[in-house]
A = this chain, B = another copy of it.
Amino acid sequence: MVLARKDPVRIKDLAEHFGVSPSTVSRALSPKGRSLISADLAARIRAKAEEMGYVGDVYATGLRTGRTRTVGVIIPDIQNPIFPPIVRGIQNRMDEAGLVTLIAYSDNRIDLARREVERLLGRRVDGLIYASAFLEDPVIDFCREQGVSLVLLNRSVRGARGLYHEVLNDEAEGIRQTVAHLASLGHRRIVHFNGPVDVLQGLERREALRRYVREYGLEAEECECTAFSREEGARCARQFLSARPSATAIVAGNDLIAIGAVQVFKEAGLRVPDQVSVVGFNGMPFSEMFDPPLTTVAIPHVQLGARAAEILLGEMQGESEGPLTVKLEPVLVARRSSGPAPGGAVDDPPRATETSLKPSIPSS
């Protein structure tokens, strides 16, 4: 049994047991040192270390080498439902590699992000995964100055491409699928309740929408939300109701905007999807339980996290093949908040692409 805390096994103990010096044991235990000593002895030391439950002292090693086998992750808020799967993806990969992950919250404020980066650097993290909220972000330059390995996750900064590692969702592809879906349902005029354009996602989704609306021969108007929130979705929905446009579908900047809009439509007696279709973005958990179940673009959050961790690990080992930009493909999940355009010709009848019960996460 491991006695990790009570009386930890030290290198000295192993050295005495074998009648060798601490350095020899240290070499036997470290990947690079192992080749310097006799293979047989190294193997025996390693076996005994395992048996005695040797766990290297992270603090001694950290002090001596400056490397701490610790990484930091900065996200806006773990209570935002897109981040738990991202964090899990990161930690899965880091745990595998024997690193520990520190999680810090910026609450979407640059000053807090900066403070948290400083705290993490003070903790001597070997690398950082940063989910920045804004297109312009001085905190990223600060990280660069500090010389810490850095991967940008899910949110990016203007001009970052080629400067920093980035792991991103393919926003344009998600919008393309959305537009294709609505076009196939016979919609011809849509309104985009776009998210804030000072955030990468808001900007990219809006630009992709403009492009694909053209390519698919549709027409679009826009209502700009100042935040990715239900309140803003509701505001645009009220505006939509009072303007009474001829559009038959809403493409929301994300799921929260979508559900804010749906709620207002329902309260106003506008039937979704009979009178207006609504499509979200993010594939947030339980969106299939909403009323109506929400059609949305599912982002591979766990894989985004895992991929970012992977790249950071490579970077930390000095495998510097130049800054990478990785885009992962999202998938539109068609549910019942979108349907045939009222009175419109339908090229392709709607299908149920998702059956009722899927494996779910146990809760207390």
Contacts and interface: CB of A to CB of B under 8 A. Distances in A.
Contact of A122 (B55, B68, B254): B55
Interface string A250-288: 000011100110010001000000000000001011100
Nearest to A227: B362
A5 B282 contact: no
A230 B360 contact: yes
Nearest to A284: B363
Contacts of A254: 363-364
A362 B5 contact: no
Copies of this chain, complex-wide, total: 2
A103 interface: yes
Given A105-B91, A118-B4, A123-B58, A80 B361 contact: yes
A4 B146 contact: yes
A357 B264 CA distance: 9
Given A63-B59, A123-B100, A229-B362, A259 B357 contact: no
Nearest to A69: B123
A148 interface: yes
B68 A59 contact: yes
A356 interface: yes
A interface SS class: loop
A155 interface: yes
A352 interface: no
A196 to B, nearest CB: 9
B68 A282 contact: no
Interface stretch (A44-52, A210-218, A289-297, A325-333): A289-297
Contact of A87 (B78, B123, B356): B78
B364 A201 contact: yes
24 contacts: A2-B122, A4-B121, A4-B122, A5-B146, A6-B146, A57-B63, A59-B68, A59-B124, A77-B361, A78-B84, A78-B88, A80-B364, A82-B364, A83-B84, A91-B105, A101-B102, A108-B362, A231-B359, A256-B361, A263-B357, A282-B364, A286-B290, A290-B290, A291-B291
